Amino acid sequence: MTTRTKLLGSMMLAGVVAGCAADDAEHFREPLRDGVLVPRAPIQRIPAPLAGAHCDIDVEGVGVVSMEEDYLPHVIQCENGGANLEALKAQAIAARSVAYYAIETDGGICDSQGCQVYSCGADPEPIHYQAVNETSGQYLNYNDTLTYAFFVAGDSGVSGPGCVGVDANAATEHWITYNSGKTGTDVEQTELGFIHQPADNGYGQNRGCMGQWSARCLENDNGEGVTAILQFFYGDDIGITQAPGACVLPLPGDTTGVVDPTTGGVGDETSAEASSGGDAGMTTMPASTTVGDDASSGGNDGTGSAGETTFEPGDGTADDGAPGVLPDTFGEADGDAGGCGCATSGSSPVRAGLLGLVLVALRRRTKKETPVA
């Protein structure tokens, strides 16, 4: 079969919804993706892992906004705001992948269903910020290529345990790919995008399409987490990589940059890295796969450094993720590990004042306890 392009331009124009009605709050609770999500720029392979995170994004008609603190929380609210946390996290990773591709190829992104909806009149809620923070900097990739993470609403009547749409007449259901258990060349690509052959430069850009109603079903009915949700649509070997950058936060369970209370030093391993010896913090699923080999054995060879998560000293969080937690030894002698480092010179007026108060207290105590002759 020859390589073909299916951008479905006429369908995209027919399916695009201009936005949300600001006075229709319930509308925001349903998936908005009724139009066709397609790359605006010419098909182009973007190598992965990326050199770094994109911390800002230029939104057409809006201007430059923060990727993690502004753009993504708004997008997942507008696109799938009524979902619960794990489905929202899957939506955040998919939306970040689309945004990264748009920046790499077009320098910015439009604000419509032809790209992703940022402006719909609904403000993000705490759960939307949480979903973005807990997937900070993560994007999809396969075969050393940035994956364009297509997503649509699909069939609203899905139910567990299958969570597969059954209504073929649902406007966007036929573009969804159900790739659970599939790897390598068995993973179905969506007709929304460019259909690559395994030998093509850029094979890995199209790894299927997520269904938003099905993603909700996987969490609500089956209790699935973000990784399982993404694998359900994009294949078991989809790479989930965290880009390094000043705007990227440690992921839940990541101890990189955390102060070790026993030494006062800053850790250089993530919890997953310490237990597995792999490139934890870079990729949680295979990002580099040799096409044609057993895809289940594919993965990063541990030699690459681009895309690894690194955090500077001072960005530490406690093991439970609470920011700014002090080491257990804080406040002990200055020379001890983790001490407060609050030494003052011998002539310090503060130290002299404290000594004076101690001496006064001792005199009063001695005077009180001395029996009267």
pLDDT for the residue 291: 56
- Percentage of the residues of the chain whose pLDDT score is greater than 90: 54
pLDDT for the residue 253: 86
Domain assignment present for 367: no
Is residue 80 scored above 80 in pLDDT?
Answer: yes
Which range among 60-74, 245-259, 345-359 has the greatest average pLDDT?
60-74
- Percentage of the residues of the chain whose pLDDT score is greater than 70: 57
Is residue 68 scored above 70 in pLDDT?
Answer: yes
How would residue 168 be classed by pLDDT, with cut points 50, 70 and 90?
confident
Domain assignment present for 229: yes
pLDDT for the residue 351: 38
Domain assignment present for 105: yes
Which range among 65-79, 276-290, 315-329, 348-362 has the greatest average pLDDT?
65-79
Is residue 318 scored above 80 in pLDDT?
Answer: no
Domain assignment present for 138: yes
Token look-up 């939307």 returns 128
How would residue 25 be classed by pLDDT, with cut points 50, 70 and 90?
very low
Is residue 27 scored above 70 in pLDDT?
Answer: no
Q: How far apart are CA 241 and CA 257, in angstroms?
A: 18
Token look-up 């929304």 returns 192
Domain assignment present for 200: yes
Domain assignment present for 20: yes
The per-residue b/e assignment along 308-320, b for 16 or more CB within 10 angstroms, e otherwise, is bbebeeebbbeee
Strands (E), 60-117: 63-66
List C-alpha distances in Å: 157 to 170, 212, 353. 9, 12, 74
Token look-up 């681009």 returns 306
How would residue 364 be classed by pLDDT, with cut points 50, 70 and 90?
very low
Nearest to 145 by CA among 291, 24, 328, 251: 291
Domain assignment present for 338: no
pLDDT for the residue 30: 61
Is residue 338 scored above 60 in pLDDT?
Answer: no
Question: Which range is least confidently modeled, 3-7, 154-158, 184-188, 238-242?
Answer: 3-7
Is residue 1 scored above 50 in pLDDT?
Answer: no
Is residue 262 scored above 80 in pLDDT?
Answer: no
Mean pLDDT over all residues of the chain?
71
Domain assignment present for 368: no
DSSP 246: T
Strand partners, 140: 240
pLDDT for the residue 171: 85
What residues make up the domain containing 134?
9-297
How would residue 309 be classed by pLDDT, with cut points 50, 70 and 90?
very low
Nearest to 89 by CA among 219, 179, 181: 219
Contact of 147 with 205, CB cutoff 8 Å: yes
- Mean pLDDT of all residues in 11-21: 28
Token look-up 């790499």 returns 104
More confident residue, 320 or 251: 251
Phi and psi angles of residue 145, each rounded to the nearest 5 degrees, phi first: -135, 135
- Can you list the pairs that 60-67 forms with residues at least 24 positions away whose Cβ atoms lie under 8 Å? 60/108, 60/109, 60/110, 60/111, 61/111, 61/119, 62/111, 62/118, 62/119, 66/247, 67/96, 67/99, 67/247
pLDDT for the residue 43: 76
pLDDT tens, position by position, 126-164: 999 999 999 999 999 999 999 999 999 999 999 999 999
Which run of H or of E encompasses 365?
A: helix 349-369
Domain count, the chain: 1
Which range among 120-124, 132-136, 164-168 has the greatest average pLDDT?
132-136
Question: Which range is least confidently modeled, 118-132, 162-176, 194-208, 344-358?
Answer: 344-358
